[in-house]
Amino acid sequence: MPTRSLQDIVPLHDLGEPLIIAGPCSAESEQQTLDAARALSAIGVKVFRAGIWKPRTMPGGFEGVGDAGLTWLRRVKQETGMTIATEVATVDHVHAALDAGVDVLWIGARTTANTFAMQDIADVLHGNDKVIVLVKNPLNPDLDLWLGALQRLAYAGVTRLGAVHRGFSSAGAHFYRNDPQWHIPFELRRCVPELTILCDPSHIGGKREFVKSLSQQALDMGFDGLMIESHCNPDQALSDSAQQITPNDLKKLLGNLVIRSGVPIEDELALLRQQIDDCDRDLLAVLARRMGVSREIGSFKKAHNLRIVQPARYQSVINERIKLASALGLPSEFVKQVMEAIHAESVRQQLDINNTSE
Residue 226 binding target from ligand PEP, Mn ion, none, CB below 5 to 8 Å by type: none
Range 282-309 burial, b when 16+ CB lie within 10 A, else e: beeeeeeeeeeebeeebeebbeeeeebe
* CB distance 141 to 184 below 8 Å: yes
CB of 136 to ligand PEP, least distance (A): 5
Which 227-286 positions form the footprint of Mn ion (CB under 5 A)? 240
Other residues' Cβ atoms within 10 Å of the Cβ of residue 202:
29
Using CB under 5 A as the binding criterion, the count of chain residues that bind Mn ion stands at 2
Q: Which is nearer to ligand PEP, 231 or 321 (CB)?
A: 231
Q: Tell me which of Mn ion, ligand PEP, none is bound by residue 152, counting a contact when its beta carbon lies within the kind-specific cut-off of 5 to 8 angstroms.
A: none
Give yes or no for a contact between 252 and 18, defined as CB atoms under 8 angstroms apart: no
Cα 44 from Cα 294, distance rounded (Å): 51
CA pair distance 75, 30, nearest whole angstrom: 9
**Binding track, positions 26-55, relative to ligand PEP; x by CB under 6 A:** -------------------------x----
Restricted to residues 97-116, the positions that interact with ligand PEP (CB under 6 A) are 108-109
Burial class of residue 277 in the structure, from the number of CB atoms within 10 Å of its CB (0-12 exposed, 13-18 middle, 19+ buried) = middle
**β-strand partners of 228:** 22
Shortest distance, CB of residue 21 to Mn ion, whole angstroms?
A: 12
State the nearest-atom distance from the C-beta of 192 to ligand PEP, in Å: 20
Q: Toward ligand PEP, which CB reaches closer, 203 or 208?
A: 203
Alpha helices per DSSP H over 100-246: 109-112, 115-124, 143-155, 183-191, 201-205, 208-220
- Comparing CB distances to ligand PEP, the nearer of 165 and 321 is 165
CB under 5 to 8 A by kind: which of ligand PEP, Mn ion, none does 225 bind? none
Q: Give the per-residue contact string, 145-184, with ligand PEP (x = CB under 6 A; - = no).
A: ---------------------x------------------
Q: Taking the complex as a whole, how short is the minimal distance between the CB of residue 210 and ligand PEP, in angstroms?
A: 15
- 67: enclosing H helix or E strand: none
Neighbours of 130 (CB within 10 A): 11
Minimum distance of ligand PEP from residue 9's CB (angstroms) = 21
- 16 near 53, Cβ under 8 Å? no
Query: Judged by CB, which is closer to ligand PEP: 195, or 339?
Result: 195
> By the criterion CB under 5 A, which residues form the site for Mn ion?
25, 240
> By the criterion CB under 6 A, which residues form the site for ligand PEP?
25, 51, 87, 108-109, 136, 166, 203
